[in-house]
Structure 1
Amino acid sequence: MARPRKPLLSRARIVAAAAALVDAEGLEAVSTRRLAAGLGVSGPSLYNHFRTKDEILEAVADAVSAQVDLSMFDESDARDWRTALHDWALSYRAALTDHPNIVPVLARGPGRRPAGLRVADAVFGAMVRAGWPPAQATYIGALMRYFITGSALGSFARGFVDDETAYDPADYPHLGQAHLLAERREKVDEGAFETGLRALLDGLALQYAAVVPDAHAAAGTER
Protein backbone atom coordinates (compact mmCIF):
# COMPACT_ATOMS: atom_id res chain seq x y z
CA MET A 1 0.00 0.00 0.00
CA ALA A 2 1.39 3.41 -0.96
CA ARG A 3 2.30 5.72 1.86
CA PRO A 4 0.31 8.95 2.20
CA ARG A 5 2.09 11.92 0.64
CA LYS A 6 1.59 14.02 3.76
CA PRO A 7 2.11 12.90 7.37
CA LEU A 8 -1.10 11.97 9.11
CA LEU A 9 -2.59 14.72 11.22
CA SER A 10 -1.99 14.35 14.95
CA ARG A 11 -2.40 16.38 18.11
CA ALA A 12 1.37 16.85 18.25
CA ARG A 13 1.49 18.31 14.71
CA ILE A 14 -1.38 20.66 15.44
CA VAL A 15 0.18 21.86 18.70
CA ALA A 16 3.58 22.38 17.06
CA ALA A 17 2.03 24.41 14.24
CA ALA A 18 -0.03 26.48 16.66
CA ALA A 19 2.98 27.08 18.91
CA ALA A 20 5.05 28.32 15.97
CA LEU A 21 2.25 30.68 14.97
CA VAL A 22 1.82 32.00 18.51
CA ASP A 23 5.57 32.56 18.86
CA ALA A 24 5.79 34.38 15.54
CA GLU A 25 2.59 36.44 15.52
CA GLY A 26 0.79 36.17 18.85
CA LEU A 27 -2.43 34.63 20.11
CA GLU A 28 -4.69 36.61 17.79
CA ALA A 29 -3.03 35.06 14.74
CA VAL A 30 -4.26 31.57 15.61
CA SER A 31 -7.40 30.32 13.90
CA THR A 32 -8.51 26.82 12.99
CA ARG A 33 -8.76 27.86 9.35
CA ARG A 34 -5.20 29.17 9.26
CA LEU A 35 -3.84 26.15 11.10
CA ALA A 36 -5.62 23.76 8.75
CA ALA A 37 -4.25 25.58 5.71
CA GLY A 38 -0.72 25.49 7.11
CA LEU A 39 -1.01 21.78 7.83
CA GLY A 40 -2.46 21.06 4.41
CA VAL A 41 -5.74 19.65 5.69
CA SER A 42 -9.36 20.68 5.73
CA GLY A 43 -10.67 22.67 8.69
CA PRO A 44 -12.97 19.93 10.00
CA SER A 45 -9.96 17.59 10.29
CA LEU A 46 -8.75 19.58 13.29
CA TYR A 47 -11.96 18.84 15.16
CA ASN A 48 -11.06 15.17 15.31
CA HIS A 49 -8.35 16.24 17.79
CA PHE A 50 -9.51 19.54 19.30
CA ARG A 51 -13.03 20.87 19.67
CA THR A 52 -12.11 24.55 19.75
CA LYS A 53 -9.31 27.04 19.18
CA ASP A 54 -9.12 27.56 22.95
CA GLU A 55 -8.38 23.87 23.43
CA ILE A 56 -5.49 24.19 21.00
CA LEU A 57 -4.08 27.18 22.87
CA GLU A 58 -4.43 25.30 26.15
CA ALA A 59 -2.40 22.47 24.62
CA VAL A 60 0.27 24.93 23.46
CA ALA A 61 0.45 26.36 26.98
CA ASP A 62 0.80 22.88 28.43
CA ALA A 63 3.62 22.10 26.01
CA VAL A 64 5.48 25.12 27.38
CA SER A 65 4.82 23.99 30.98
CA ALA A 66 6.32 20.63 30.05
CA GLN A 67 9.63 22.39 29.30
CA VAL A 68 10.03 23.48 32.93
CA ASP A 69 12.61 21.49 34.90
CA LEU A 70 11.10 19.80 37.97
CA SER A 71 14.05 17.58 38.89
CA MET A 72 14.93 19.76 41.89
CA PHE A 73 11.68 18.70 43.55
CA ASP A 74 12.42 14.97 43.37
CA GLU A 75 12.65 13.39 46.81
CA SER A 76 16.08 12.05 45.86
CA ASP A 77 17.40 15.54 45.07
CA ALA A 78 19.63 17.02 47.78
CA ARG A 79 18.68 20.66 47.23
CA ASP A 80 16.96 22.42 50.16
CA TRP A 81 13.55 24.01 49.57
CA ARG A 82 14.96 27.48 48.98
CA THR A 83 17.53 26.37 46.42
CA ALA A 84 14.92 24.20 44.72
CA LEU A 85 12.51 27.13 44.41
CA HIS A 86 15.30 29.34 43.06
CA ASP A 87 16.43 26.86 40.42
CA TRP A 88 12.87 26.03 39.41
CA ALA A 89 11.98 29.71 39.08
CA LEU A 90 14.89 30.25 36.70
CA SER A 91 13.80 27.28 34.58
CA TYR A 92 10.17 28.41 34.58
CA ARG A 93 11.07 31.96 33.57
CA ALA A 94 13.37 30.68 30.81
CA ALA A 95 10.50 28.68 29.31
CA LEU A 96 8.20 31.70 29.42
CA THR A 97 10.88 34.00 28.02
CA ASP A 98 11.26 31.65 25.06
CA HIS A 99 7.48 31.76 24.45
CA PRO A 100 6.23 35.11 25.79
CA ASN A 101 3.10 35.27 23.66
CA ILE A 102 1.54 32.26 25.39
CA VAL A 103 2.03 33.72 28.90
CA PRO A 104 -1.51 35.20 29.12
CA VAL A 105 -2.92 31.68 28.71
CA LEU A 106 -0.52 30.23 31.27
CA ALA A 107 -1.34 33.05 33.69
CA ARG A 108 -4.91 31.77 33.97
CA GLY A 109 -3.62 28.75 35.90
CA PRO A 110 -3.22 25.06 35.07
CA GLY A 111 -6.92 24.16 34.89
CA ARG A 112 -6.90 20.62 33.53
CA ARG A 113 -3.55 20.83 31.73
CA PRO A 114 -1.46 17.76 32.72
CA ALA A 115 1.99 19.36 32.60
CA GLY A 116 0.76 22.47 34.38
CA LEU A 117 -0.78 20.34 37.10
CA ARG A 118 2.47 18.39 37.47
CA VAL A 119 4.26 21.69 38.10
CA ALA A 120 1.76 22.71 40.79
CA ASP A 121 1.87 19.25 42.36
CA ALA A 122 5.68 19.19 42.44
CA VAL A 123 5.99 22.61 44.09
CA PHE A 124 3.30 21.94 46.69
CA GLY A 125 4.63 18.47 47.50
CA ALA A 126 8.19 19.70 47.94
CA MET A 127 7.16 22.54 50.24
CA VAL A 128 5.10 20.23 52.45
CA ARG A 129 7.97 17.74 52.64
CA ALA A 130 10.24 20.61 53.71
CA GLY A 131 7.95 21.26 56.66
CA TRP A 132 5.77 24.09 55.42
CA PRO A 133 2.13 23.78 56.56
CA PRO A 134 -0.15 22.89 53.61
CA ALA A 135 -1.81 26.31 53.61
CA GLN A 136 1.55 28.07 53.46
CA ALA A 137 2.74 25.69 50.75
CA THR A 138 -0.31 26.71 48.71
CA TYR A 139 0.48 30.39 49.23
CA ILE A 140 4.07 29.83 48.14
CA GLY A 141 3.00 28.11 44.93
CA ALA A 142 0.61 30.95 44.15
CA LEU A 143 3.19 33.62 45.03
CA MET A 144 5.83 32.08 42.81
CA ARG A 145 3.43 31.80 39.88
CA TYR A 146 2.39 35.45 40.27
CA PHE A 147 6.00 36.58 40.36
CA ILE A 148 7.28 34.46 37.49
CA THR A 149 4.40 34.92 35.07
CA GLY A 150 4.21 38.61 35.93
CA SER A 151 7.87 39.06 35.07
CA ALA A 152 7.30 37.40 31.71
CA LEU A 153 4.29 39.51 30.71
CA GLY A 154 6.44 42.47 29.75
CA SER A 155 9.90 43.99 29.78
CA PHE A 156 10.64 46.93 32.06
CA ALA A 157 13.67 47.92 30.01
CA ARG A 158 11.81 47.76 26.71
CA GLY A 159 9.32 50.27 28.09
CA PHE A 160 11.84 53.08 27.53
CA VAL A 161 12.67 54.45 24.09
CA ASP A 162 16.18 54.41 22.66
CA ASP A 163 16.35 58.18 22.27
CA GLU A 164 18.46 60.32 24.58
CA THR A 165 16.33 63.39 23.78
CA ALA A 166 13.13 61.72 24.97
CA TYR A 167 13.67 62.38 28.67
CA ASP A 168 14.28 66.06 29.29
CA PRO A 169 16.31 66.53 32.50
CA ALA A 170 14.09 69.48 33.36
CA ASP A 171 11.13 67.13 33.59
CA TYR A 172 12.86 63.87 34.57
CA PRO A 173 16.09 64.73 36.41
CA HIS A 174 16.83 61.11 37.31
CA LEU A 175 16.24 59.52 33.90
CA GLY A 176 19.35 60.78 32.13
CA GLN A 177 20.43 57.21 31.29
CA ALA A 178 16.97 55.74 30.70
CA HIS A 179 17.45 55.72 26.92
CA LEU A 180 20.16 53.09 27.41
CA LEU A 181 17.80 50.58 29.02
CA ALA A 182 16.34 49.31 25.75
CA GLU A 183 19.68 48.15 24.39
CA ARG A 184 20.51 46.54 27.73
CA ARG A 185 17.12 44.88 28.03
CA GLU A 186 18.27 41.32 28.69
CA LYS A 187 20.76 42.29 31.40
CA VAL A 188 18.31 44.67 33.09
CA ASP A 189 15.36 42.28 33.03
CA GLU A 190 17.38 39.29 34.19
CA GLY A 191 18.99 41.34 36.94
CA ALA A 192 15.61 42.61 38.10
CA PHE A 193 14.20 39.09 38.17
CA GLU A 194 17.13 37.71 40.15
CA THR A 195 16.98 40.63 42.60
CA GLY A 196 13.27 40.13 43.16
CA LEU A 197 13.62 36.37 43.45
CA ARG A 198 16.32 36.60 46.11
CA ALA A 199 14.32 39.17 48.05
CA LEU A 200 11.26 36.95 47.89
CA LEU A 201 13.21 33.91 49.06
CA ASP A 202 14.85 35.91 51.86
CA GLY A 203 11.39 36.79 53.12
CA LEU A 204 10.20 33.21 52.90
CA ALA A 205 13.29 32.03 54.79
CA LEU A 206 12.38 34.35 57.67
CA GLN A 207 8.84 32.99 57.71
CA TYR A 208 10.16 29.43 57.55
CA ALA A 209 12.31 30.00 60.65
CA ALA A 210 9.23 31.18 62.52
CA VAL A 211 6.78 28.59 61.20
CA VAL A 212 9.09 25.55 61.26
CA PRO A 213 11.56 26.28 64.09
CA ASP A 214 12.60 22.64 64.46
CA ALA A 215 13.12 21.87 60.77
CA HIS A 216 16.69 23.19 60.43
CA ALA A 217 15.57 26.61 59.24
CA ALA A 218 19.16 27.52 58.50
CA ALA A 219 18.95 25.33 55.40
CA GLY A 220 16.43 27.76 54.00
CA THR A 221 18.85 30.69 54.28
CA GLU A 222 21.51 29.28 51.98
CA ARG A 223 22.20 31.16 48.77
Structure 2
Amino acid sequence: MPVEEQQPVASVWTRPQRRREQPALSRAQIVAVALELLDTEGIEALSMRKLGARLDAGATSLYRHVANKDELLELVVDEVYGQIEVPDIWGRDWRTAVTGCAGSARAVLLRHPWVASVLGQVGLSYLGPNVMRLNERMLALFEAAGFDLPEADRALGTVMAYVIGTATTEAAWLTTLTRSGRTEQEWLNTLRPAAIEATKPYPRLHALATAEQQAEEEREDAFHYGLARVLDGLAARLA
Protein backbone atom coordinates (compact mmCIF):
# COMPACT_ATOMS: atom_id res chain seq x y z
CA MET A 1 0.00 0.00 0.00
CA PRO A 2 1.46 3.42 -0.91
CA VAL A 3 2.56 5.47 2.06
CA GLU A 4 -0.07 8.13 1.43
CA GLU A 5 -2.84 5.49 1.63
CA GLN A 6 -1.68 3.84 4.84
CA GLN A 7 -3.98 4.23 7.81
CA PRO A 8 -2.42 5.80 10.93
CA VAL A 9 -1.80 3.52 13.88
CA ALA A 10 -4.73 3.72 16.28
CA SER A 11 -3.72 5.94 19.18
CA VAL A 12 -5.05 8.93 21.06
CA TRP A 13 -1.85 10.72 20.04
CA THR A 14 -2.37 10.22 16.28
CA ARG A 15 -6.12 10.75 16.02
CA PRO A 16 -7.28 14.31 15.21
CA GLN A 17 -9.05 15.77 18.22
CA ARG A 18 -12.60 17.03 17.92
CA ARG A 19 -13.15 20.64 18.84
CA ARG A 20 -16.16 21.69 20.89
CA GLU A 21 -17.17 24.93 22.50
CA GLN A 22 -17.15 24.60 26.31
CA PRO A 23 -17.44 20.80 26.55
CA ALA A 24 -19.25 19.44 29.60
CA LEU A 25 -16.21 17.35 30.50
CA SER A 26 -12.57 18.13 29.98
CA ARG A 27 -9.94 15.55 29.09
CA ALA A 28 -8.15 16.43 32.34
CA GLN A 29 -11.27 15.61 34.38
CA ILE A 30 -11.67 12.26 32.68
CA VAL A 31 -8.03 11.33 33.19
CA ALA A 32 -8.04 12.38 36.86
CA VAL A 33 -11.11 10.29 37.70
CA ALA A 34 -9.83 7.32 35.68
CA LEU A 35 -6.53 7.47 37.57
CA GLU A 36 -8.37 7.52 40.89
CA LEU A 37 -10.47 4.52 39.82
CA LEU A 38 -7.40 2.57 38.73
CA ASP A 39 -5.51 3.34 41.93
CA THR A 40 -8.37 2.33 44.21
CA GLU A 41 -9.88 -0.62 42.34
CA GLY A 42 -7.23 -1.84 39.88
CA ILE A 43 -7.07 -2.35 36.14
CA GLU A 44 -9.83 -4.97 36.12
CA ALA A 45 -12.35 -2.42 37.38
CA LEU A 46 -11.80 0.11 34.59
CA SER A 47 -14.58 0.40 32.04
CA MET A 48 -16.01 3.32 30.13
CA ARG A 49 -19.38 2.62 31.72
CA LYS A 50 -18.03 2.68 35.27
CA LEU A 51 -15.96 5.77 34.57
CA GLY A 52 -19.00 7.53 33.15
CA ALA A 53 -20.94 6.72 36.31
CA ARG A 54 -18.18 8.22 38.47
CA LEU A 55 -18.19 11.35 36.35
CA ASP A 56 -21.99 11.47 36.32
CA ALA A 57 -21.77 11.60 32.54
CA GLY A 58 -22.98 9.48 29.66
CA ALA A 59 -20.69 7.50 27.40
CA THR A 60 -21.20 10.06 24.63
CA SER A 61 -19.41 12.70 26.69
CA LEU A 62 -16.43 10.39 27.19
CA TYR A 63 -16.22 9.38 23.54
CA ARG A 64 -15.79 13.00 22.51
CA HIS A 65 -12.33 12.75 24.08
CA VAL A 66 -11.35 9.08 23.70
CA ALA A 67 -12.42 6.51 21.14
CA ASN A 68 -12.13 3.53 23.49
CA LYS A 69 -10.58 2.23 26.71
CA ASP A 70 -7.19 1.73 25.04
CA GLU A 71 -6.96 5.44 24.27
CA LEU A 72 -8.03 6.25 27.81
CA LEU A 73 -5.18 4.12 29.16
CA GLU A 74 -2.71 5.94 26.92
CA LEU A 75 -3.79 9.21 28.49
CA VAL A 76 -3.68 7.92 32.07
CA VAL A 77 -0.28 6.25 31.64
CA ASP A 78 1.10 9.51 30.26
CA GLU A 79 -0.35 11.32 33.27
CA VAL A 80 1.48 8.91 35.59
CA TYR A 81 4.76 9.41 33.72
CA GLY A 82 4.32 13.13 34.27
CA GLN A 83 4.86 12.52 38.00
CA ILE A 84 8.42 11.26 37.48
CA GLU A 85 11.02 13.85 38.42
CA VAL A 86 14.23 14.33 36.44
CA PRO A 87 16.85 16.22 38.48
CA ASP A 88 18.77 18.98 36.75
CA ILE A 89 22.24 17.84 35.72
CA TRP A 90 23.80 21.19 36.58
CA GLY A 91 25.73 21.15 39.84
CA ARG A 92 25.76 17.36 40.21
CA ASP A 93 27.34 14.38 38.51
CA TRP A 94 25.37 12.35 35.98
CA ARG A 95 25.13 9.26 38.20
CA THR A 96 23.51 11.22 41.00
CA ALA A 97 21.01 12.74 38.58
CA VAL A 98 20.15 9.41 36.93
CA THR A 99 19.83 7.73 40.34
CA GLY A 100 17.40 10.44 41.41
CA CYS A 101 15.27 9.97 38.30
CA ALA A 102 15.32 6.17 38.61
CA GLY A 103 14.25 6.41 42.25
CA SER A 104 11.42 8.77 41.33
CA ALA A 105 10.27 6.42 38.54
CA ARG A 106 10.23 3.47 40.94
CA ALA A 107 8.26 5.44 43.53
CA VAL A 108 5.69 6.48 40.91
CA LEU A 109 5.27 2.91 39.62
CA LEU A 110 4.80 1.59 43.17
CA ARG A 111 2.30 4.38 43.91
CA HIS A 112 0.29 3.27 40.86
CA PRO A 113 0.93 -0.52 40.83
CA TRP A 114 -1.51 -1.22 37.99
CA VAL A 115 0.72 0.69 35.53
CA ALA A 116 3.38 -2.00 35.29
CA SER A 117 0.83 -4.54 34.01
CA VAL A 118 -0.26 -2.40 31.05
CA LEU A 119 2.96 -0.81 29.80
CA GLY A 120 3.17 -3.25 26.90
CA GLN A 121 -0.50 -2.80 25.97
CA VAL A 122 -0.99 0.94 25.69
CA GLY A 123 -0.30 1.52 22.02
CA LEU A 124 1.83 4.53 21.20
CA SER A 125 2.28 5.58 24.82
CA TYR A 126 5.80 6.78 24.02
CA LEU A 127 4.26 9.62 21.97
CA GLY A 128 2.59 11.15 25.02
CA PRO A 129 3.90 14.61 25.93
CA ASN A 130 4.95 13.65 29.45
CA VAL A 131 6.80 10.55 28.25
CA MET A 132 8.58 12.59 25.59
CA ARG A 133 9.56 15.30 28.06
CA LEU A 134 10.90 12.63 30.43
CA ASN A 135 12.91 10.94 27.68
CA GLU A 136 14.24 14.26 26.35
CA ARG A 137 15.54 15.28 29.76
CA MET A 138 17.00 11.85 30.48
CA LEU A 139 18.79 11.83 27.13
CA ALA A 140 20.28 15.20 28.08
CA LEU A 141 21.64 13.67 31.31
CA PHE A 142 23.39 10.88 29.43
CA GLU A 143 24.71 13.29 26.80
CA ALA A 144 26.12 15.47 29.59
CA ALA A 145 27.85 12.35 30.94
CA GLY A 146 29.66 11.93 27.61
CA PHE A 147 27.53 9.51 25.58
CA ASP A 148 26.69 10.39 22.00
CA LEU A 149 22.95 10.54 21.26
CA PRO A 150 22.48 6.97 19.92
CA GLU A 151 24.28 5.45 22.90
CA ALA A 152 22.51 7.83 25.30
CA ASP A 153 19.28 6.34 23.95
CA ARG A 154 20.57 2.81 24.66
CA ALA A 155 21.71 3.84 28.14
CA LEU A 156 18.29 5.36 28.88
CA GLY A 157 16.57 2.17 27.70
CA THR A 158 18.83 0.02 29.88
CA VAL A 159 18.18 2.03 33.03
CA MET A 160 14.42 2.20 32.48
CA ALA A 161 14.26 -1.53 31.71
CA TYR A 162 15.89 -2.22 35.07
CA VAL A 163 13.58 0.20 36.91
CA ILE A 164 10.39 -1.07 35.27
CA GLY A 165 11.37 -4.73 35.69
CA THR A 166 12.18 -4.31 39.37
CA ALA A 167 9.14 -2.14 40.08
CA THR A 168 6.84 -4.63 38.30
CA THR A 169 7.91 -7.39 40.68
CA GLU A 170 7.59 -5.10 43.68
CA ALA A 171 4.17 -3.84 42.59
CA ALA A 172 2.85 -7.39 42.24
CA TRP A 173 4.16 -8.24 45.71
CA LEU A 174 2.67 -5.12 47.30
CA THR A 175 -0.68 -5.76 45.60
CA THR A 176 -0.71 -9.25 47.13
CA LEU A 177 0.05 -7.73 50.53
CA THR A 178 -2.78 -5.22 50.20
CA ARG A 179 -5.23 -8.01 49.46
CA SER A 180 -3.99 -10.04 52.43
CA GLY A 181 -4.53 -7.19 54.88
CA ARG A 182 -1.08 -7.73 56.39
CA THR A 183 1.91 -5.46 56.52
CA GLU A 184 5.05 -6.46 54.66
CA GLN A 185 6.93 -7.23 57.87
CA GLU A 186 4.02 -9.28 59.24
CA TRP A 187 3.99 -11.39 56.08
CA LEU A 188 7.75 -11.89 56.24
CA ASN A 189 7.60 -12.92 59.90
CA THR A 190 4.83 -15.42 59.11
CA LEU A 191 6.82 -17.01 56.27
CA ARG A 192 10.17 -17.01 58.04
CA PRO A 193 9.81 -20.25 60.10
CA ALA A 194 8.80 -22.21 56.99
CA ALA A 195 11.68 -20.71 54.98
CA ILE A 196 14.19 -21.55 57.73
CA GLU A 197 12.99 -25.15 57.85
CA ALA A 198 12.88 -25.59 54.06
CA THR A 199 16.42 -24.27 53.55
CA LYS A 200 18.17 -26.45 56.13
CA PRO A 201 19.71 -28.72 53.44
CA TYR A 202 21.02 -25.66 51.58
CA PRO A 203 23.60 -23.82 53.71
CA ARG A 204 23.78 -20.63 51.67
CA LEU A 205 20.02 -20.22 51.41
CA HIS A 206 19.72 -21.15 55.10
CA ALA A 207 22.17 -18.43 56.08
CA LEU A 208 20.09 -15.91 54.18
CA ALA A 209 16.82 -17.19 55.63
CA THR A 210 18.05 -17.00 59.22
CA ALA A 211 19.47 -13.48 58.91
CA GLU A 212 17.42 -10.68 60.44
CA GLN A 213 15.52 -8.80 57.75
CA GLN A 214 13.51 -5.61 57.54
CA ALA A 215 11.32 -6.16 54.50
CA GLU A 216 10.96 -2.63 53.18
CA GLU A 217 14.62 -1.79 53.80
CA GLU A 218 15.66 -4.98 51.99
CA ARG A 219 13.68 -4.01 48.90
CA GLU A 220 15.10 -0.49 48.97
CA ASP A 221 18.67 -1.75 49.34
CA ALA A 222 18.21 -4.35 46.60
CA PHE A 223 16.89 -1.76 44.17
CA HIS A 224 19.77 0.64 44.73
CA TYR A 225 22.34 -2.16 44.61
CA GLY A 226 21.11 -3.29 41.19
CA LEU A 227 20.84 0.26 39.89
CA ALA A 228 24.40 1.04 41.04
CA ARG A 229 25.70 -2.01 39.17
CA VAL A 230 23.88 -0.91 35.99
CA LEU A 231 25.44 2.55 36.31
CA ASP A 232 28.85 0.96 36.98
CA GLY A 233 28.57 -0.74 33.60
CA LEU A 234 27.63 2.51 31.86
CA ALA A 235 30.46 4.34 33.61
CA ALA A 236 32.88 1.69 32.37
CA ARG A 237 31.76 2.47 28.81
CA LEU A 238 32.67 6.12 29.33
CA ALA A 239 36.06 5.20 30.78
Q: What SS is found at the alignment partner of 1:9?
A: coil
> For residue 26 of structure 2, what is the amino acid of its counterpart?
S
Residue 166 of structure 1 is aligned with which of 194, 197, 202? 194
Alpha-carbon distance change, 128 to 179 in structure 1, aligned in 2, over 3 angstroms: same
Alpha-carbon distance change, 207 to 21 in structure 1, aligned in 2, over 3 angstroms: same
Alpha-carbon distance change, 175 to 39 in structure 1, aligned in 2, over 3 angstroms: farther
TM-score normalised by length of structure 2: 0.73
Residue 129 of structure 1 is aligned with which of 125, 139, 144? 144
8 Å CA contact 2:87, 2:100 repeated in 1: no
8 Å CA contact 1:26, 1:101 repeated in 2: yes
Deviations 1:72-118 (A, max 9, x none): 24xxx222222211111111111111111112334567421110111
Alpha-carbon distance change, 98 to 130 in structure 1, aligned in 2, over 3 angstroms: same
Task: Establish whether residue 69 from structure 1 lines up as the match of residue 69 from structure 2.
Answer: no
Q: Which runs of 5 or more structure 1 residues have no equivalent in the other structure?
A: 1-6, 210-223
Task: Establish whether residue 100 from structure 1 lines up as the match of residue 116 from structure 2.
Answer: no
Residue 141 of structure 1 is aligned with which of 134, 149, 156? 156
8 Å CA contact 1:32, 1:43 repeated in 2: yes
Deviation of the 1:15 alpha carbon: 0.9
Comparing both structures, which one devotes a greater share of its residues to helix? Answer: 2
Alpha-carbon distance change, 113 to 157 in structure 1, aligned in 2, over 3 angstroms: closer
> For residue 103 of structure 1, what is the amino acid of its counterpart?
A
Task: Establish whether residue 201 from structure 1 lines up as the match of residue 231 from structure 2.
Answer: yes
Number of aligned residue pairs: 199
Identical pairs, percent: 36
Alpha-carbon distance change, 179 to 44 in structure 1, aligned in 2, over 3 angstroms: farther
Residue 98 of structure 2 is aligned with which of 55, 70, 85? 85
Deviation of the 1:172 alpha carbon: 5.2
> For residue 93 of structure 2, what is the amino acid of its counterpart?
D
Task: Establish whether residue 111 from structure 1 lines up as the match of residue 126 from structure 2.
Answer: yes
Q: Which runs of 5 or more structure 2 residues have no equivalent in the other structure?
A: 1-22, 177-186
Q: Please report the RMSD computed on the Cα atoms of aligned residues, expressed in angstroms.
A: 2.8
TM-score normalised by length of structure 1: 0.78
Partner of 1:49: 65
8 Å CA contact 1:68, 1:88 repeated in 2: yes
In the aligned structure 2, how far is the partner of 1:180 from the partner of 1:102? 33
In the aligned structure 2, how far is the partner of 1:205 from the partner of 1:48? 48
Deviations 1:35-56 (A, max 9, x none): 0011111122100111111111
Deviations 1:175-196 (A, max 9, x none): 4764999x84321211111111
